[in-house]
Structure 1
Protein backbone atom coordinates (compact mmCIF):
# COMPACT_ATOMS: atom_id res chain seq x y z
CA UNK A 1 0.00 0.00 0.00
CA UNK A 2 1.28 3.47 -0.91
CA UNK A 3 1.34 5.96 1.95
CA UNK A 4 0.33 9.33 0.54
CA UNK A 5 0.94 12.79 1.89
CA UNK A 6 -1.88 13.74 4.23
CA UNK A 7 -2.88 15.98 7.14
CA UNK A 8 -3.94 13.94 10.17
CA UNK A 9 -4.81 16.66 12.68
CA UNK A 10 -7.57 19.24 12.67
CA UNK A 11 -5.28 22.28 12.86
CA UNK A 12 -3.43 21.40 9.65
CA UNK A 13 -6.59 20.26 7.92
CA UNK A 14 -8.38 23.49 8.87
CA UNK A 15 -5.52 25.46 7.33
CA UNK A 16 -5.96 23.51 4.11
CA UNK A 17 -9.71 24.08 4.13
CA UNK A 18 -9.24 27.82 4.60
CA UNK A 19 -6.83 27.85 1.65
CA UNK A 20 -9.37 26.01 -0.51
CA UNK A 21 -12.09 28.44 0.48
CA UNK A 22 -9.88 31.37 -0.54
CA UNK A 23 -8.78 29.79 -3.84
CA UNK A 24 -9.94 32.13 -6.58
CA UNK A 25 -8.36 30.78 -9.77
CA UNK A 26 -11.08 28.33 -10.83
CA UNK A 27 -14.55 28.05 -9.30
CA UNK A 28 -15.13 24.42 -10.32
CA UNK A 29 -11.70 23.37 -9.06
CA UNK A 30 -12.49 24.96 -5.69
CA UNK A 31 -15.87 23.17 -5.65
CA UNK A 32 -14.21 19.83 -6.46
CA UNK A 33 -11.66 20.29 -3.67
CA UNK A 34 -14.44 21.12 -1.22
CA UNK A 35 -16.28 17.95 -2.25
CA UNK A 36 -13.08 15.93 -1.79
CA UNK A 37 -12.91 17.26 1.77
CA UNK A 38 -16.60 16.63 2.50
CA UNK A 39 -17.08 13.27 0.75
CA UNK A 40 -13.50 11.90 0.51
CA UNK A 41 -14.08 9.79 -2.60
CA UNK A 42 -11.23 8.58 -4.77
CA UNK A 43 -10.24 11.63 -6.87
CA UNK A 44 -11.00 9.87 -10.16
CA UNK A 45 -14.50 9.00 -8.95
CA UNK A 46 -15.18 12.69 -8.39
CA UNK A 47 -13.44 14.03 -11.50
CA UNK A 48 -15.35 11.64 -13.75
CA UNK A 49 -18.69 11.97 -11.93
CA UNK A 50 -21.80 12.37 -14.07
CA UNK A 51 -24.95 14.24 -13.08
CA UNK A 52 -26.98 11.05 -13.57
CA UNK A 53 -25.18 9.53 -10.54
CA UNK A 54 -26.55 12.15 -8.14
CA UNK A 55 -30.00 12.21 -6.59
CA UNK A 56 -29.90 15.49 -4.71
CA UNK A 57 -33.49 15.05 -3.51
CA UNK A 58 -32.66 11.73 -1.86
CA UNK A 59 -29.17 13.01 -1.05
CA UNK A 60 -27.28 10.08 -2.53
CA UNK A 61 -24.33 9.75 -4.90
CA UNK A 62 -24.21 6.34 -6.58
CA UNK A 63 -20.77 5.66 -8.04
CA UNK A 64 -21.24 2.99 -10.72
CA UNK A 65 -19.31 -0.27 -10.59
CA UNK A 66 -17.57 0.59 -13.86
CA UNK A 67 -15.76 3.49 -12.17
CA UNK A 68 -15.43 2.25 -8.60
CA UNK A 69 -12.06 0.79 -7.65
CA UNK A 70 -13.57 -2.37 -6.20
CA UNK A 71 -15.72 -2.81 -9.34
CA UNK A 72 -18.94 -2.69 -7.37
CA UNK A 73 -21.48 0.10 -7.07
CA UNK A 74 -20.78 2.40 -4.13
CA UNK A 75 -23.45 4.69 -2.62
CA UNK A 76 -22.44 7.74 -0.60
CA UNK A 77 -24.80 9.87 1.52
CA UNK A 78 -24.67 13.58 0.70
CA UNK A 79 -24.59 16.01 3.62
CA UNK A 80 -26.21 19.45 3.38
CA UNK A 81 -22.92 21.15 2.51
CA UNK A 82 -22.23 18.78 -0.41
CA UNK A 83 -25.76 19.23 -1.80
CA UNK A 84 -25.32 23.02 -1.68
CA UNK A 85 -22.01 22.82 -3.57
CA UNK A 86 -23.45 20.48 -6.20
CA UNK A 87 -26.51 22.69 -6.70
CA UNK A 88 -24.21 25.67 -7.21
CA UNK A 89 -22.07 23.77 -9.74
CA UNK A 90 -25.17 22.58 -11.60
CA UNK A 91 -26.57 26.12 -11.75
CA UNK A 92 -23.42 27.15 -13.67
CA UNK A 93 -22.65 24.09 -15.78
CA UNK A 94 -25.31 21.44 -15.29
CA UNK A 95 -26.38 21.16 -18.93
CA UNK A 96 -23.64 18.68 -19.74
CA UNK A 97 -23.16 15.05 -18.74
CA UNK A 98 -20.10 15.60 -16.53
CA UNK A 99 -20.15 17.41 -13.19
CA UNK A 100 -16.55 18.59 -13.66
CA UNK A 101 -15.75 18.80 -17.38
CA UNK A 102 -12.38 19.84 -18.74
CA UNK A 103 -11.86 23.54 -19.40
CA UNK A 104 -11.67 23.23 -23.20
CA UNK A 105 -14.27 20.52 -23.81
CA UNK A 106 -17.37 19.26 -22.02
CA UNK A 107 -16.79 15.78 -23.48
CA UNK A 108 -13.87 14.96 -21.17
CA UNK A 109 -13.57 15.19 -17.41
CA UNK A 110 -11.33 17.50 -15.46
CA UNK A 111 -7.68 16.48 -15.75
CA UNK A 112 -6.17 14.24 -13.09
CA UNK A 113 -3.53 16.92 -12.53
CA UNK A 114 -5.99 19.79 -11.95
CA UNK A 115 -6.65 19.14 -8.26
CA UNK A 116 -3.04 18.44 -7.29
CA UNK A 117 -1.88 21.47 -9.28
CA UNK A 118 -4.36 23.64 -7.36
CA UNK A 119 -2.98 22.34 -4.07
CA UNK A 120 0.55 23.26 -5.24
CA UNK A 121 -0.63 26.77 -6.21
CA UNK A 122 -2.00 27.14 -2.67
CA UNK A 123 1.45 26.37 -1.33
CA UNK A 124 1.01 22.71 -0.30
CA UNK A 125 3.85 20.51 -1.51
CA UNK A 126 3.34 16.95 -2.76
CA UNK A 127 4.93 15.83 0.52
CA UNK A 128 2.22 17.67 2.50
CA UNK A 129 -1.05 16.89 0.69
CA UNK A 130 -2.43 15.27 -2.45
CA UNK A 131 -5.96 14.97 -3.78
CA UNK A 132 -5.99 11.32 -2.69
CA UNK A 133 -4.86 12.36 0.80
CA UNK A 134 -8.34 13.64 1.71
CA UNK A 135 -9.36 9.99 2.16
CA UNK A 136 -6.67 9.28 4.74
CA UNK A 137 -7.37 12.58 6.50
CA UNK A 138 -11.06 11.74 6.83
CA UNK A 139 -10.33 8.17 7.93
CA UNK A 140 -7.84 9.35 10.56
CA UNK A 141 -10.03 12.10 12.00
CA UNK A 142 -13.25 10.07 11.92
CA UNK A 143 -11.58 7.16 13.68
CA UNK A 144 -9.91 9.49 16.16
CA UNK A 145 -13.27 11.05 17.07
CA UNK A 146 -14.39 7.76 18.63
CA UNK A 147 -17.97 8.47 17.54
CA UNK A 148 -18.29 6.06 14.63
CA UNK A 149 -17.98 2.33 14.16
CA UNK A 150 -14.78 1.55 12.26
CA UNK A 151 -16.75 -0.64 9.82
CA UNK A 152 -19.02 2.32 9.01
CA UNK A 153 -15.95 4.41 8.20
CA UNK A 154 -14.52 1.63 6.05
CA UNK A 155 -17.85 1.20 4.27
CA UNK A 156 -17.98 4.94 3.58
CA UNK A 157 -14.48 4.77 2.11
CA UNK A 158 -15.65 1.96 -0.18
CA UNK A 159 -13.30 -0.60 1.35
CA UNK A 160 -14.35 -4.24 1.52
CA UNK A 161 -12.88 -7.30 3.16
CA UNK A 162 -12.08 -10.61 1.50
CA UNK A 163 -14.74 -12.54 3.43
CA UNK A 164 -17.87 -12.75 1.21
CA UNK A 165 -20.35 -13.00 4.09
CA UNK A 166 -18.74 -10.10 5.91
CA UNK A 167 -18.63 -8.10 2.67
CA UNK A 168 -22.39 -8.54 2.13
CA UNK A 169 -23.12 -7.40 5.68
CA UNK A 170 -20.51 -4.66 5.57
CA UNK A 171 -22.07 -3.22 2.43
CA UNK A 172 -25.62 -3.00 3.79
CA UNK A 173 -25.45 -2.52 7.53
CA UNK A 174 -24.14 0.96 8.10
CA UNK A 175 -26.17 3.30 5.86
CA UNK A 176 -27.96 5.10 8.71
CA UNK A 177 -24.74 5.58 10.64
CA UNK A 178 -22.93 6.75 7.51
CA UNK A 179 -25.67 9.33 6.88
CA UNK A 180 -25.30 10.69 10.41
CA UNK A 181 -21.52 10.59 10.07
CA UNK A 182 -21.65 12.55 6.80
CA UNK A 183 -23.67 15.33 8.42
CA UNK A 184 -21.41 15.36 11.48
CA UNK A 185 -18.33 15.55 9.26
CA UNK A 186 -19.82 18.44 7.28
CA UNK A 187 -20.70 20.33 10.46
CA UNK A 188 -17.28 19.64 11.98
CA UNK A 189 -15.61 21.09 8.89
CA UNK A 190 -17.92 24.13 8.97
CA UNK A 191 -17.24 24.66 12.70
CA UNK A 192 -13.50 24.74 12.15
CA UNK A 193 -13.49 26.91 9.03
CA UNK A 194 -16.04 28.72 6.94
CA UNK A 195 -16.54 26.80 3.71
CA UNK A 196 -18.99 28.80 1.63
CA UNK A 197 -20.12 26.94 -1.47
Structure 2
Protein backbone atom coordinates (compact mmCIF):
# COMPACT_ATOMS: atom_id res chain seq x y z
CA UNK A 1 0.00 0.00 0.00
CA UNK A 2 1.48 3.41 -0.98
CA UNK A 3 2.70 5.61 1.84
CA UNK A 4 0.29 8.44 2.68
CA UNK A 5 1.86 11.89 2.43
CA UNK A 6 0.63 14.43 4.98
CA UNK A 7 -0.15 17.88 3.53
CA UNK A 8 2.18 20.74 4.40
CA UNK A 9 1.17 23.48 6.80
CA UNK A 10 1.83 27.20 6.37
CA UNK A 11 4.21 27.14 9.35
CA UNK A 12 6.25 24.27 7.83
CA UNK A 13 6.66 26.19 4.57
CA UNK A 14 7.49 29.47 6.31
CA UNK A 15 10.01 27.96 8.74
CA UNK A 16 11.85 25.75 6.21
CA UNK A 17 15.56 26.57 6.34
CA UNK A 18 18.36 25.92 3.80
CA UNK A 19 20.66 22.93 4.31
CA UNK A 20 23.92 21.77 2.80
CA UNK A 21 21.94 20.30 -0.14
CA UNK A 22 18.69 21.17 -1.87
CA UNK A 23 15.77 19.24 -0.41
CA UNK A 24 12.03 18.78 -0.95
CA UNK A 25 8.99 19.13 1.28
CA UNK A 26 6.11 17.18 -0.26
CA UNK A 27 2.47 18.28 -0.09
CA UNK A 28 1.16 15.21 -1.91
CA UNK A 29 -0.41 14.61 -5.34
CA UNK A 30 2.83 15.66 -7.08
CA UNK A 31 3.29 19.05 -5.39
CA UNK A 32 6.46 19.78 -3.44
CA UNK A 33 8.46 22.75 -2.17
CA UNK A 34 12.11 22.74 -3.26
CA UNK A 35 14.27 24.47 -0.67
CA UNK A 36 17.63 25.45 -2.19
CA UNK A 37 21.00 25.89 -0.48
CA UNK A 38 20.69 29.63 -1.15
CA UNK A 39 17.41 29.78 0.77
CA UNK A 40 15.03 29.87 -2.19
CA UNK A 41 11.66 28.16 -1.85
CA UNK A 42 10.35 26.96 -5.20
CA UNK A 43 7.01 25.26 -5.87
CA UNK A 44 7.23 22.29 -8.24
CA UNK A 45 4.63 19.86 -9.61
CA UNK A 46 5.94 16.42 -10.62
CA UNK A 47 3.83 14.33 -13.00
CA UNK A 48 3.89 11.79 -15.83
CA UNK A 49 2.63 12.46 -19.35
CA UNK A 50 2.82 10.10 -22.33
CA UNK A 51 4.92 7.78 -20.15
CA UNK A 52 7.54 10.42 -19.29
CA UNK A 53 8.34 12.00 -15.93
CA UNK A 54 8.01 15.79 -16.04
CA UNK A 55 8.37 18.78 -13.71
CA UNK A 56 6.34 22.00 -13.80
CA UNK A 57 7.48 25.19 -12.01
CA UNK A 58 4.57 26.81 -10.16
CA UNK A 59 6.30 29.86 -8.68
CA UNK A 60 8.36 31.08 -5.73
CA UNK A 61 7.27 31.28 -2.08
CA UNK A 62 6.07 33.62 -0.57
CA UNK A 63 4.95 35.31 -3.83
CA UNK A 64 3.02 32.11 -4.50
CA UNK A 65 1.43 30.95 -1.27
CA UNK A 66 0.71 27.35 -0.29
CA UNK A 67 -2.98 27.81 -1.14
CA UNK A 68 -2.20 29.27 -4.58
CA UNK A 69 0.31 26.48 -5.29
CA UNK A 70 -2.39 23.94 -4.49
CA UNK A 71 -4.80 25.69 -6.86
CA UNK A 72 -2.18 25.55 -9.61
CA UNK A 73 -1.61 21.87 -8.88
CA UNK A 74 -5.37 21.28 -9.19
CA UNK A 75 -5.49 23.03 -12.55
CA UNK A 76 -2.52 21.00 -13.80
CA UNK A 77 -4.21 17.76 -12.69
CA UNK A 78 -7.37 18.74 -14.59
CA UNK A 79 -5.26 19.31 -17.71
CA UNK A 80 -3.65 15.89 -17.29
CA UNK A 81 -7.07 14.25 -16.88
CA UNK A 82 -7.96 15.72 -20.28
CA UNK A 83 -4.77 14.30 -21.78
CA UNK A 84 -2.99 17.66 -22.02
CA UNK A 85 0.58 18.41 -20.92
CA UNK A 86 0.68 21.29 -18.36
CA UNK A 87 4.28 22.17 -19.27
CA UNK A 88 3.38 22.38 -22.95
CA UNK A 89 0.40 24.61 -22.21
CA UNK A 90 2.61 26.91 -20.14
CA UNK A 91 5.04 27.22 -23.06
CA UNK A 92 2.20 28.05 -25.41
CA UNK A 93 1.06 30.97 -23.25
CA UNK A 94 4.46 32.70 -23.50
CA UNK A 95 5.03 32.62 -27.25
CA UNK A 96 4.85 35.77 -29.42
CA UNK A 97 2.11 35.08 -31.95
CA UNK A 98 4.24 35.90 -35.02
CA UNK A 99 6.75 33.11 -34.26
CA UNK A 100 4.27 30.38 -33.39
CA UNK A 101 4.04 27.07 -35.23
CA UNK A 102 0.49 27.87 -36.34
CA UNK A 103 1.40 31.23 -37.89
CA UNK A 104 4.38 29.76 -39.79
CA UNK A 105 2.28 26.79 -40.92
CA UNK A 106 -0.52 28.99 -42.24
CA UNK A 107 2.08 31.07 -44.09
CA UNK A 108 3.53 27.86 -45.62
CA UNK A 109 0.04 26.66 -46.54
CA UNK A 110 -0.83 29.97 -48.22
CA UNK A 111 2.41 29.92 -50.22
CA UNK A 112 2.03 26.39 -51.60
CA UNK A 113 -1.78 26.23 -51.87
CA UNK A 114 -1.79 27.27 -55.55
CA UNK A 115 0.21 24.10 -56.35
CA UNK A 116 -2.40 21.78 -54.79
CA UNK A 117 -5.97 20.87 -55.62
CA UNK A 118 -8.59 22.83 -53.72
CA UNK A 119 -9.77 19.66 -51.97
CA UNK A 120 -6.28 18.64 -50.86
CA UNK A 121 -5.49 22.13 -49.56
CA UNK A 122 -8.75 22.25 -47.59
CA UNK A 123 -8.40 18.75 -46.11
CA UNK A 124 -4.78 19.35 -45.13
CA UNK A 125 -5.55 22.58 -43.30
CA UNK A 126 -8.51 20.95 -41.54
CA UNK A 127 -6.30 18.09 -40.30
CA UNK A 128 -3.72 20.55 -39.00
CA UNK A 129 -6.39 22.64 -37.26
CA UNK A 130 -7.93 19.63 -35.51
CA UNK A 131 -4.94 17.40 -34.87
CA UNK A 132 -1.86 19.63 -34.55
CA UNK A 133 -2.64 23.26 -33.69
CA UNK A 134 -4.44 22.46 -30.39
CA UNK A 135 -1.25 20.80 -29.11
CA UNK A 136 1.70 22.77 -30.54
CA UNK A 137 0.11 25.61 -32.53
CA UNK A 138 0.99 28.36 -30.04
CA UNK A 139 4.54 27.17 -29.36
CA UNK A 140 7.40 29.05 -31.03
CA UNK A 141 8.42 26.91 -33.99
CA UNK A 142 12.09 27.28 -32.99
CA UNK A 143 11.33 25.62 -29.63
CA UNK A 144 9.55 22.56 -30.97
CA UNK A 145 11.51 19.36 -30.47
CA UNK A 146 11.29 15.93 -32.06
CA UNK A 147 9.65 14.61 -28.87
CA UNK A 148 6.83 17.18 -29.26
CA UNK A 149 6.18 16.01 -32.81
CA UNK A 150 6.27 12.36 -31.77
CA UNK A 151 3.60 13.09 -29.14
CA UNK A 152 1.37 14.58 -31.86
CA UNK A 153 1.93 11.62 -34.19
CA UNK A 154 1.33 9.11 -31.38
CA UNK A 155 -2.12 10.56 -30.74
CA UNK A 156 -2.93 10.33 -34.45
CA UNK A 157 -1.50 6.86 -34.84
CA UNK A 158 -3.99 5.54 -32.30
CA UNK A 159 -6.84 6.91 -34.40
CA UNK A 160 -5.62 6.22 -37.92
CA UNK A 161 -2.19 5.40 -39.26
CA UNK A 162 -2.95 6.91 -42.68
CA UNK A 163 -3.68 10.34 -41.18
CA UNK A 164 -0.56 10.13 -39.01
CA UNK A 165 1.52 9.48 -42.14
CA UNK A 166 -0.03 12.47 -43.95
CA UNK A 167 0.61 14.77 -40.99
CA UNK A 168 4.18 13.48 -40.67
CA UNK A 169 4.80 14.35 -44.35
CA UNK A 170 3.28 17.81 -43.86
CA UNK A 171 5.41 18.45 -40.76
CA UNK A 172 8.55 17.72 -42.78
CA UNK A 173 7.50 20.22 -45.45
CA UNK A 174 6.60 22.86 -42.85
CA UNK A 175 9.94 22.62 -41.07
CA UNK A 176 11.91 22.65 -44.31
CA UNK A 177 10.05 25.87 -45.15
CA UNK A 178 10.91 27.21 -41.68
CA UNK A 179 14.60 26.45 -42.32
CA UNK A 180 14.50 28.16 -45.72
CA UNK A 181 12.89 31.29 -44.23
CA UNK A 182 15.30 31.46 -41.28
CA UNK A 183 12.75 30.58 -38.55
CA UNK A 184 14.66 27.49 -37.38
CA UNK A 185 18.23 26.27 -37.73
CA UNK A 186 17.65 22.50 -37.59
CA UNK A 187 14.76 20.41 -38.87
CA UNK A 188 13.46 18.19 -35.99
CA UNK A 189 11.52 16.00 -38.43
CA UNK A 190 14.72 14.49 -39.86
CA UNK A 191 14.84 12.03 -36.95
CA UNK A 192 11.17 10.96 -37.38
CA UNK A 193 12.01 8.35 -40.01
CA UNK A 194 10.69 4.97 -38.87
CA UNK A 195 8.70 6.54 -36.00
CA UNK A 196 5.41 5.07 -37.27
CA UNK A 197 4.68 1.38 -37.86
CA UNK A 198 4.39 0.16 -41.43
CA UNK A 199 0.91 -0.08 -42.89
CA UNK A 200 1.14 -3.85 -42.78
CA UNK A 201 1.35 -3.69 -38.99
CA UNK A 202 -1.88 -1.75 -38.59
CA UNK A 203 -3.97 -4.67 -37.39
CA UNK A 204 -1.19 -6.54 -35.61
CA UNK A 205 -2.24 -5.98 -31.97
CA UNK A 206 -3.05 -9.24 -30.19
CA UNK A 207 -6.69 -10.28 -30.12
CA UNK A 208 -8.44 -9.94 -26.77
CA UNK A 209 -10.00 -13.11 -25.41
CA UNK A 210 -13.48 -13.21 -23.88
CA UNK A 211 -12.31 -12.99 -20.27
CA UNK A 212 -10.06 -10.01 -21.06
CA UNK A 213 -12.95 -8.20 -22.79
CA UNK A 214 -15.29 -8.89 -19.87
CA UNK A 215 -12.71 -7.64 -17.34
CA UNK A 216 -12.16 -4.47 -19.37
CA UNK A 217 -15.88 -3.73 -19.72
CA UNK A 218 -16.51 -4.31 -16.01
CA UNK A 219 -13.57 -2.04 -15.09
CA UNK A 220 -14.95 0.71 -17.34
CA UNK A 221 -18.43 0.38 -15.81
CA UNK A 222 -16.84 0.85 -12.39
CA UNK A 223 -14.98 4.02 -13.38
CA UNK A 224 -15.83 6.88 -10.98
CA UNK A 225 -14.39 9.82 -12.97
CA UNK A 226 -15.96 12.28 -15.42
CA UNK A 227 -19.21 11.00 -16.97
CA UNK A 228 -18.23 12.18 -20.47
CA UNK A 229 -14.96 10.22 -20.35
CA UNK A 230 -16.74 7.13 -19.01
CA UNK A 231 -19.28 7.28 -21.85
CA UNK A 232 -16.43 7.50 -24.38
CA UNK A 233 -14.80 4.41 -22.87
CA UNK A 234 -18.10 2.52 -22.97
CA UNK A 235 -18.88 3.47 -26.57
CA UNK A 236 -15.48 2.65 -28.08
CA UNK A 237 -15.92 -1.16 -27.98
CA UNK A 238 -19.64 -0.92 -28.77
CA UNK A 239 -19.15 1.15 -31.93
CA UNK A 240 -15.93 -0.59 -33.04
CA UNK A 241 -14.07 2.65 -33.72
CA UNK A 242 -10.78 4.16 -32.61
CA UNK A 243 -10.89 6.46 -29.53
CA UNK A 244 -9.58 9.35 -31.64
CA UNK A 245 -12.39 8.99 -34.20
CA UNK A 246 -14.97 8.85 -31.41
CA UNK A 247 -13.63 11.98 -29.68
CA UNK A 248 -14.10 13.99 -32.91
CA UNK A 249 -17.79 13.05 -33.23
CA UNK A 250 -20.23 15.97 -33.54
CA UNK A 251 -23.90 16.03 -32.59
CA UNK A 252 -24.83 16.97 -36.15
CA UNK A 253 -23.46 13.57 -37.24
CA UNK A 254 -25.73 11.65 -34.84
CA UNK A 255 -29.19 10.81 -36.18
CA UNK A 256 -31.29 9.53 -33.29
CA UNK A 257 -34.28 8.95 -35.56
CA UNK A 258 -32.41 6.67 -37.96
CA UNK A 259 -30.15 5.41 -35.14
CA UNK A 260 -26.88 5.99 -36.96
CA UNK A 261 -23.67 7.97 -36.59
CA UNK A 262 -22.32 9.22 -39.93
CA UNK A 263 -18.57 9.78 -39.72
CA UNK A 264 -17.29 12.32 -42.31
CA UNK A 265 -14.73 11.13 -44.84
CA UNK A 266 -11.85 13.01 -43.15
CA UNK A 267 -12.45 11.09 -39.90
CA UNK A 268 -13.22 7.79 -41.59
CA UNK A 269 -9.96 7.86 -43.54
CA UNK A 270 -11.68 6.84 -46.78
CA UNK A 271 -13.15 8.58 -49.83
CA UNK A 272 -16.74 8.39 -48.54
CA UNK A 273 -18.38 9.00 -45.19
CA UNK A 274 -18.82 5.96 -42.95
CA UNK A 275 -22.08 4.97 -41.25
CA UNK A 276 -21.97 3.38 -37.80
CA UNK A 277 -25.36 1.87 -36.85
CA UNK A 278 -26.31 2.41 -33.21
CA UNK A 279 -27.29 -0.64 -31.19
CA UNK A 280 -29.77 -0.10 -28.36
CA UNK A 281 -26.94 0.12 -25.80
CA UNK A 282 -25.07 2.75 -27.84
CA UNK A 283 -28.26 4.72 -28.44
CA UNK A 284 -29.01 4.86 -24.70
CA UNK A 285 -25.51 6.05 -23.82
CA UNK A 286 -25.64 8.78 -26.47
CA UNK A 287 -29.10 9.91 -25.31
CA UNK A 288 -27.77 10.18 -21.75
CA UNK A 289 -24.70 12.02 -23.00
CA UNK A 290 -26.83 14.42 -25.04
CA UNK A 291 -28.34 15.82 -21.84
CA UNK A 292 -24.79 16.63 -20.64
CA UNK A 293 -23.03 18.00 -23.73
CA UNK A 294 -25.67 19.21 -26.21
CA UNK A 295 -24.51 22.79 -25.51
CA UNK A 296 -21.41 21.94 -27.59
CA UNK A 297 -21.20 20.90 -31.23
CA UNK A 298 -19.03 18.02 -30.03
CA UNK A 299 -20.42 14.87 -28.48
CA UNK A 300 -17.31 14.77 -26.29
CA UNK A 301 -16.27 18.39 -25.67
CA UNK A 302 -13.00 19.27 -24.01
CA UNK A 303 -13.20 19.59 -20.23
CA UNK A 304 -11.63 23.05 -20.62
CA UNK A 305 -13.68 24.50 -23.47
CA UNK A 306 -16.79 23.32 -25.32
CA UNK A 307 -15.34 24.83 -28.51
CA UNK A 308 -12.89 21.93 -28.88
CA UNK A 309 -13.34 18.19 -28.74
CA UNK A 310 -11.95 16.06 -25.94
CA UNK A 311 -8.51 14.57 -26.55
CA UNK A 312 -8.32 10.75 -26.71
CA UNK A 313 -5.59 11.10 -24.09
CA UNK A 314 -8.39 11.81 -21.60
CA UNK A 315 -9.57 8.25 -22.26
CA UNK A 316 -6.07 6.86 -21.84
CA UNK A 317 -5.56 8.80 -18.59
CA UNK A 318 -8.83 7.36 -17.27
CA UNK A 319 -7.75 3.84 -18.24
CA UNK A 320 -4.42 4.34 -16.47
CA UNK A 321 -6.26 5.53 -13.36
CA UNK A 322 -8.05 2.17 -13.12
CA UNK A 323 -4.88 0.19 -13.74
CA UNK A 324 -5.23 -0.46 -17.48
CA UNK A 325 -2.83 0.30 -20.32
CA UNK A 326 -3.60 2.56 -23.30
CA UNK A 327 -3.68 -0.21 -25.89
CA UNK A 328 -6.46 -2.27 -24.27
CA UNK A 329 -9.12 -0.10 -25.94
CA UNK A 330 -7.47 0.25 -29.36
CA UNK A 331 -10.01 -0.37 -32.09
CA UNK A 332 -7.99 -3.05 -33.86
CA UNK A 333 -8.08 -5.32 -30.81
CA UNK A 334 -11.88 -5.24 -30.79
CA UNK A 335 -12.09 -5.53 -34.59
CA UNK A 336 -10.40 -8.93 -34.45
CA UNK A 337 -12.52 -10.13 -31.53
CA UNK A 338 -15.69 -8.84 -33.18
CA UNK A 339 -14.75 -10.34 -36.53
CA UNK A 340 -14.26 -13.77 -34.98
CA UNK A 341 -17.50 -13.72 -32.99
CA UNK A 342 -19.64 -12.25 -35.78
CA UNK A 343 -18.35 -14.69 -38.40
CA UNK A 344 -18.30 -17.85 -36.26
CA UNK A 345 -20.82 -17.20 -33.48
CA UNK A 346 -23.38 -14.93 -35.14
CA UNK A 347 -22.88 -16.28 -38.69
CA UNK A 348 -22.70 -12.80 -40.23
CA UNK A 349 -21.53 -12.54 -43.84
CA UNK A 350 -17.86 -11.62 -44.23
CA UNK A 351 -18.85 -8.88 -46.72
CA UNK A 352 -21.02 -7.20 -44.10
CA UNK A 353 -18.32 -7.50 -41.42
CA UNK A 354 -15.55 -6.13 -43.64
CA UNK A 355 -17.65 -3.22 -44.82
CA UNK A 356 -18.62 -2.17 -41.30
CA UNK A 357 -15.08 -2.51 -39.93
CA UNK A 358 -13.59 -0.76 -43.00
CA UNK A 359 -11.26 -3.70 -43.58
CA UNK A 360 -12.00 -4.02 -47.28
CA UNK A 361 -8.98 -3.49 -49.51
CA UNK A 362 -11.19 -1.97 -52.21
CA UNK A 363 -12.06 1.18 -50.27
CA UNK A 364 -12.32 3.24 -53.44
CA UNK A 365 -15.58 1.43 -54.20
CA UNK A 366 -16.91 1.78 -50.66
CA UNK A 367 -20.66 2.45 -50.45
CA UNK A 368 -21.67 3.70 -46.96
CA UNK A 369 -25.31 2.58 -47.50
CA UNK A 370 -24.51 -0.96 -48.58
CA UNK A 371 -25.89 -3.74 -46.32
CA UNK A 372 -27.14 -1.10 -43.86
CA UNK A 373 -30.05 -3.18 -42.43
CA UNK A 374 -27.73 -6.17 -42.01
CA UNK A 375 -25.12 -3.94 -40.35
CA UNK A 376 -27.74 -2.62 -37.91
CA UNK A 377 -28.58 -6.19 -36.98
CA UNK A 378 -24.89 -7.10 -36.75
CA UNK A 379 -24.06 -4.21 -34.40
CA UNK A 380 -26.96 -5.16 -32.13
CA UNK A 381 -25.68 -8.73 -31.96
CA UNK A 382 -22.21 -7.45 -31.06
CA UNK A 383 -23.58 -5.18 -28.31
CA UNK A 384 -25.69 -8.02 -26.88
CA UNK A 385 -22.66 -10.28 -26.94
CA UNK A 386 -20.63 -7.75 -24.93
CA UNK A 387 -23.45 -7.56 -22.36
CA UNK A 388 -23.52 -11.34 -22.16
CA UNK A 389 -19.76 -11.49 -21.66
CA UNK A 390 -20.04 -9.08 -18.73
CA UNK A 391 -22.90 -11.05 -17.20
CA UNK A 392 -21.07 -14.37 -17.56
CA UNK A 393 -17.71 -13.00 -16.50
CA UNK A 394 -16.10 -13.76 -19.85
CA UNK A 395 -17.32 -17.27 -20.63
CA UNK A 396 -17.35 -17.78 -24.36
CA UNK A 397 -20.79 -17.70 -25.96
CA UNK A 398 -20.87 -20.76 -28.19
CA UNK A 399 -24.49 -20.88 -29.18
CA UNK A 400 -25.77 -19.03 -32.19
CA UNK A 401 -27.61 -15.81 -31.36
CA UNK A 402 -31.28 -16.00 -32.25
CA UNK A 403 -32.39 -13.50 -34.80
Whether the TM-score (by the shorter chain) exceeds 0.5 is yes
Q: Write the distance in 1 (CA, Å) between the matches of 2:363 and 2:251.
A: 33
Q: Which residue of 2 aligns with 1:44?
A: 244
Q: Which residue of 2 aligns with 1:157?
A: 357
Q: Which residue of 1 aligns with 2:330?
A: 131
Q: Which residue of 1 aligns with 2:280?
A: 80
User: 2:266 aligns to what SS in structure 1?
Assistant: coil
Structure 1 segment 1-197 matched on structure 2, within 5 A: 1-2=200-201, 3=203, 5-126=205-326, 129-132=328-331, 133-145=333-345, 147-162=347-362, 167-168=365-366, 171-193=368-390
Q: Write the distance in 2 (CA, Å) between the matches of 1:193 and 1:68.
A: 29
TM-score, normalised with respect to structure 1 = 0.86
TM-score, normalised with respect to structure 2 = 0.44
Higher strand share: 2
C-alpha contact (below 8 Å) 2:270/2:363 kept by paired residues: no
Provide, for residues 14-69 of structure 1, a one-character-per-residue CA deviation record: whole Å limited to 9, x for no partner: 11000000001121111011110111112222100000001011101100112211
Q: Write the distance in 1 (CA, Å) between the matches of 2:363 and 2:307.
A: 39
| Cα distance change on mapping 1:106 and 1:84 into 2, 3 Å | same
Whose Rg is larger?
A: 2
User: Could you tell me how far 1:134 is from its partner in structure 2?
Assistant: 3.3
Q: Write the distance in 1 (CA, Å) between the matches of 2:337 and 2:319.
A: 15
More divergent stretch after superposition (152-161 vs 59-68): 152-161
User: Could you tell me how far 1:7 is from its partner in structure 2?
Assistant: 4.8
C-alpha contact (below 8 Å) 2:245/2:268 kept by paired residues: yes
* Higher RCO (CA 8 Å, separation ≥ 6 residues): 1
Q: For structure 2, which runs of at least 5 residues remain unmatched after alignment?
A: 1-199, 392-403
C-alpha contact (below 8 Å) 1:5/1:130 kept by paired residues: no
User: Could you tell me how far 1:163 is from its partner in structure 2?
Assistant: 7.6
- The alignment yields a C-alpha RMSD, in angstroms, of 2.2
Q: Write the distance in 1 (CA, Å) between the matches of 2:256 and 2:362.
A: 32
